[in-house]
Amino acid sequence: MIVRPKPNLIGVLTSLKGSIAKRIAWRSLMVTLLASAIVLIETLHPSYFSKVSATPFTLLGLSLSIFMSFRNNACYDRWYEARKAWGDVIVEVRSMIRETLVIKDTDERHTILSNLCGFAHALNARLRQENELAASGDWLHPMPKGNTTDISGQILMQVGQQCSTLNESGVINDWRYTLMANHLASLTRAQAICERIKNTPLPFPYTLLLHRTIYLFCILLPFAMAEPLGWLTPIFTAIVSYTFFGLDAIADELEDPFGRDENDLPTDAIVRNIERDVLAALGVTELPPQLEPVDFVLN
């Protein structure tokens, strides 16, 4: 995620970090070169373009802008919903830290909170399709048993079982156990929300239709602009292609907010904050540092 102060006018025009320009540079350049070639042909053979009208492109551009805004809104909703789910993970882990204060056995409390921190690490790895056990193993006591494909869910199951055992032994009362069970259920819900976003992409035909229409629009637009604008056509074509290709590329990034792209969620930083909360609750004085933006990118 890009974290930087609001840029001034010069910064707006020159900033590349976090900009989508690098991803679409070749596409915009090719369309611009094509526009230059079309203007050259129009200059040599103006009769070829005498019947080309800009009216269809005006209507198509308006419709395309509306449909792209729908797709970008849908992708941003996925990004924001994922951020809210991770916010719920922070809330529930902090709530569990508070609820476990009644557990006098230091080892029992340490196990519960360490497993919850391991859950955050495992969920982060799961959403990136990485090894959950390798990411969370240092925090788990005991290690999950069996060949489960859902380490994150297994961790919550173990914590729930431990809370149930503490309730049966009288360490925590029924009311406290109910609260802790509700917090674990909320963590399960947050995991399910993230998995739904990760495993349910936007409908492919809808995305494919927009991709094709954008390319066709940007390739055919210079034919309508060549006669009235002349050598200004490549400039305006570059601006239009930058806008449409850029919106399309931004939507692709936001559709899956759990990766390592510059505009994805800073889940590593979120997990580090959970880690610091857990370690502070366990009495650790030397906490790992918070992750800071590197070249304006917070991972």
Sign of the CA dihedral with 80 first, then 199, 2, and 90 last: positive
Q: What is the mean pLDDT of the segment spanning 103-120? A: 90
Question: What is the tens place of the pLDDT at every residue in 207-249?
Answer: 888 888 888 888 888 888 887 788 888 898 898 888 888 888 8
> If pLDDT is split at 50, 70 and 90, which confidence band does 65 have?
confident
Q: Which single residue is written with the structure tokens 């997990």?
A: 271
Q: How many angstroms separate the CA atoms of 90 and 270, rounded?
A: 8
Question: How big is the CA angle at 191 (ends 297 and 85), to the nearest 5 degrees?
Answer: 55
* Confidence bin at 191 (pLDDT 50/70/90): very high
Residues 23-51, mean pLDDT to the nearest whole number? 82
3-state secondary structure the chain: CECCCCCCHHHHHHCCCCCCHHHHHHHHHHHHHHHHHHHHHHHHCHHHHCCCCCHHHHHHHHHHHHHHHHHHHHHHHHHHHHHHHHHHHHHHHHHHHHHHHHCCCHHHHHHHHHHHHHHHHHHHHHHCCCCHHHHHHHHCCCCCCCCCCCHHHHHHHHHHHHHHHHHHCCCCCHHHHHHHHHHHHHHHHHHHHHHHHHHCCCCHHHHHHHHHHHHHHHHHHHHHHHHHHHHHHHHHHHHHHHHHHHHHHHHHHHHCCCCCCCCCCCHHHHHHHHHHHHHHHCCCCCCCCCCCCECCECC
Residues 31 and 241: beta-carbon distance below 8 Å? yes
* Biggest distance spanned by C-alpha atoms of the chain: 92
The larger pLDDT score, comparing residue 54 to residue 8, is at 54
